[in-house]
Structure 1
Amino acid sequence: MFDPESLTRLREEVRETTVQNRRLLERLLAEVEVMRDASVRIQPRTTTSISLVASDGGNNRAEFNPFELQIVRVMDSHGVELMTKVVSPHTDLEELAEWHLSPTRPDDPLGLLMRDLGCRTLYELSPMLNNDPEKKSPGWPLVYRDLCEWAVLYQLITTTRWGSDTLIVRDGLLRSKIFQGDLFVQMYRRIMEAIEGTKRSRRRDVYLVGIAKHTEVLQRYSTAMSVQQIFPVGHPLYAPVPYALQKEAYKWPEYIRSPVVEEDAEGKEDPKFNIGSMHFVRFGSQASDPIWTADLLHDQAGDAQKIFGCLLGDAVEGFPVPFYPLCLQRADEYAHVVGLDMDILRDELASAVRDLLGDAKRQQIMDGLMLAYSDIASRRYA
């Protein structure tokens, strides 16, 4: 803890620095003024809602894990397992690509996405999945996890025969910098073709929305929005985020450019990182209720009222995070490998390592290590 003298000095410096930056506050207050009359009241609607969540390896890493195995698991809000794969930072990416593209797995989501985008290797799909030992990042499983989630989403939209209007909810914005070249936008075009095809042939609407708890643009403008009362008290509201505000918050203009080539695009980089139309949304009716950042598909921005209206009822039921879509929270719970499931997988890993050792004396040492890694006391008093 700070001693009284240091604490007093630090408090004075905090106040002085804040006063020195008052122009920034005034600037932010002025910038959000463009949204003052843009908020729209959300009218409740009903539709089927599906959520996708891919759990990361950090959540699904076993206690005893000499090979740093990570379980990539994509689940929906109904508890249906859509994709599961065990990888480690040492996995050969060429062999992994062959596994996904194998003719024996025609329904593999990532294999389907790779084939449709003309990719034979994972590196052709993402520049972050380089199999060169000197360039291979130890954090590539996290990129792979995100690719798996996008692949499952792609498979759902392009292959499912929907029996009712459906809203698919993604945990995160509809933006990504992990795809090679313009493959992300190519995927978007295929998604829109499938959505339009479903509307023509089955008279069903399929919507996609991405919700994020924390974003740079919301962090920058949340205080100014509250002070200026951009979202007045009384009703759930949403508002599109002006391009100018996004431009101030993000360093890379390509991250906020729409997937449609602009008329004055000469000299600019082709769109490739964003397929969404950004909105702020508050599902509660009080000033203290949280505001989230949401992306609608660019071509579905005109259906914002219907999409947020369908999401409203699910968000109001949100628990334990208030006014955050319950379907996302449920999918997240299903995606985590915990309890007995994790114990079984950990024991299987230990058994596999034990078998590799071969020698009986080494196996006995391994048995001792497993006892050391087991927290017996916590199990006894859990």
Structure 2
Amino acid sequence: MIDPVSQAQLREAIADCIRADRRVLDTLRDEIRPLKYATCRIQPRATTSISLIGADGGNHQLRFDPFLIQLVRVVDSSNNEYCLEVVSPTTPIDTLNARQFAADGSARTALGEMMRFLGVDSLSELSPLIRLSGYGRPVSSRWVEVYRELVEWAVLFAILKKDFGADTLIVCDGLLRSVVFARGLFQRLLQGMQERIDAHWKNNRRRVHLAGVAKHSKVLSRYRLAMALEEVLHTDYPAYVEVPRELEEKSYFRADFTPGGDAAGEGDAVTEHIGGKMFLVKFGAHRHDPVWPVDIFEPQKGNAQEILGSMLADAMNGFPIPYYPRCLQRAHENAALVDFDFDVLQDFIYEGIRSTLGKDAMILDAFQMQDLDPSQHRYE
């Protein structure tokens, strides 16, 4: 615990630091002030909406899992399951490659279909973060998370090929950006997505829109106080404002998610990782309702009013997170491994370990009876 003398010194040091950096806040206010006059009101519209979300078993802290088993599962808000795989950090990459294709070389999975479209035959070609090092291990220790993201993009690409009975808005969990693809492949994927969206309009006169919603953004974190001081999006109605690329560029230390195609020169590497135009959106009708960063698919940024208007009614019914798209929350509920599903997964891990132990299986049975965390009793 900090003693009173140290607290006083610390308080004074913090105050001096803030006074010295006051110009930083003034600069942020100057940068954000023009957005107040670019704010647009969201007009409600009716449309069908679905969403995508993935569940990674590694996000759930299993009581006992020496093998770090993880689930890669992708579902939508209607509880349609598009992928369910079991992997671990030690799963051979060649095994994962083989899962994606049938014996005749045709795609067996959504990921295999995306790889065929992009003209790659292995995950190492698809992403440099799954490339094997000289020791035969992936260069990234978090390659399973990279694999999960690739699966989510592949499922989205596959869904865009489906027939839709009405105009549809597909809402993704997270912004439409990625740094996991090898050079040039992400932009080729985005081009393929646009081709499938255009085909829906050409063949069936169906409009298919694509957007991504995030709970956090470095842009929002950097400018949140300045927005409050300048009363940006302090409206008594749902509203949105487009984020200039320059503000994005100033918010990110890495160049990966900075200027998109409308600001960067041809061939500029920063265009490789951007698929959406960012907007800051407030779905509530009160001045202090939450603001969310929303990416609208780059070719559709001119339809922001239509897309956000379609999202409005769904966000107004958001629960338990207020004014956050309900379709995303339903998808997360469907994907989450809790209660019974969580216990079943843990039992499957015990069964798998027991089957490999042979005559030593009885030791595992005794192990299960032990209290794995006696320290928790201090809270009882």
Distance 1:270 1:24 in 2: 26
Q: 2:170 aligns with which of 168, 171, 175?
A: 168
Distance 1:285 1:53 in 2: 27
Distance 2:280 2:154 in 1: 26
The within-5 A match list for 1:127-142 is 127-132=128-133, 133-142=136-145
Deviations 1:123-172 (A, max 9, x none): 11111112333554331111111111111111101x20111011111111
State which drifts further: 342-351 or 25-34.
342-351
Counterparts in 2 of 1:70 and 1:209: CA distance versus 1, 3 Å: same
The within-5 A match list for 1:35-46 is 35-46=35-46
Contact 1:282 1:292 in 2 (8 A): yes
**What secondary structure is seen at the aligned counterpart in 2 of 1:37?**
helix
Structure 1 position 12, deviation (Å): 1.8
Distance 1:114 1:81 in 2: 20
Q: Quick one: which amino acid aligns to residue 363 of structure 2?
A: I
Q: Quick one: which amino acid aligns to residue 11 of structure 1?
A: R
**What secondary structure is seen at the aligned counterpart in 1 of 2:94?**
helix
Distance 1:149 1:367 in 2: 37
Deviations 1:53-73 (A, max 9, x none): 112233245322111100111
The within-5 A match list for 1:1-382 is 1-103=1-103, 106=107, 108-132=109-133, 133-157=136-160, 159-259=161-261, 264-265=265-266, 268-269=268-269, 271-359=271-359, 362-372=360-370
Distance 1:336 1:270 in 2: 34
Structure 1 position 339, deviation (Å): 1.8
**What secondary structure is seen at the aligned counterpart in 1 of 2:71?**
strand
Distance 1:147 1:373 in 2: 38
State which drifts further: 3-12 or 280-289.
3-12
Distance 2:138 2:148 in 1: 19
Contact 1:226 1:287 in 2 (8 A): no
Deviations 1:44-87 (A, max 9, x none): 11111111111223324532211110011111111111111110
Counterparts in 2 of 1:57 and 1:117: CA distance versus 1, 3 Å: same
Distance 2:16 2:371 in 1: 51
**What secondary structure is seen at the aligned counterpart in 2 of 1:12?**
helix
Counterparts in 2 of 1:270 and 1:337: CA distance versus 1, 3 Å: closer
**What secondary structure is seen at the aligned counterpart in 1 of 2:277?**
strand
**What secondary structure is seen at the aligned counterpart in 2 of 1:86?**
strand
**What secondary structure is seen at the aligned counterpart in 2 of 1:272?**
helix
**What secondary structure is seen at the aligned counterpart in 1 of 2:271?**
coil
Structure 1 position 16, deviation (Å): 1.4
Deviations 1:234-286 (A, max 9, x none): 11111110111111112334423324796x437x3372100111111111122
Distance 2:330 2:310 in 1: 17
State which drifts further: 3-12 or 304-313.
3-12
Q: Quick one: which amino acid aligns to residue 155 of structure 2?
A: V
Moved >3 Å (runs of 4+):
103-107, 259-262
Structure 1 position 289, deviation (Å): 0.9
Counterparts in 2 of 1:69 and 1:96: CA distance versus 1, 3 Å: same
Structure 1 position 186, deviation (Å): 0.3
Q: Quick one: which amino acid aligns to residue 366 of structure 1?
A: L
- TM-score scaled to structure 2, two decimals? 0.92
**What secondary structure is seen at the aligned counterpart in 1 of 2:59?**
coil
Contact 1:53 1:331 in 2 (8 A): yes
CA RMSD of aligned residues (A): 2.1
Distance 1:131 1:2 in 2: 48
Aligned residues: 372
What fraction of aligned residue pairs are identical, expressed as a percent?
39
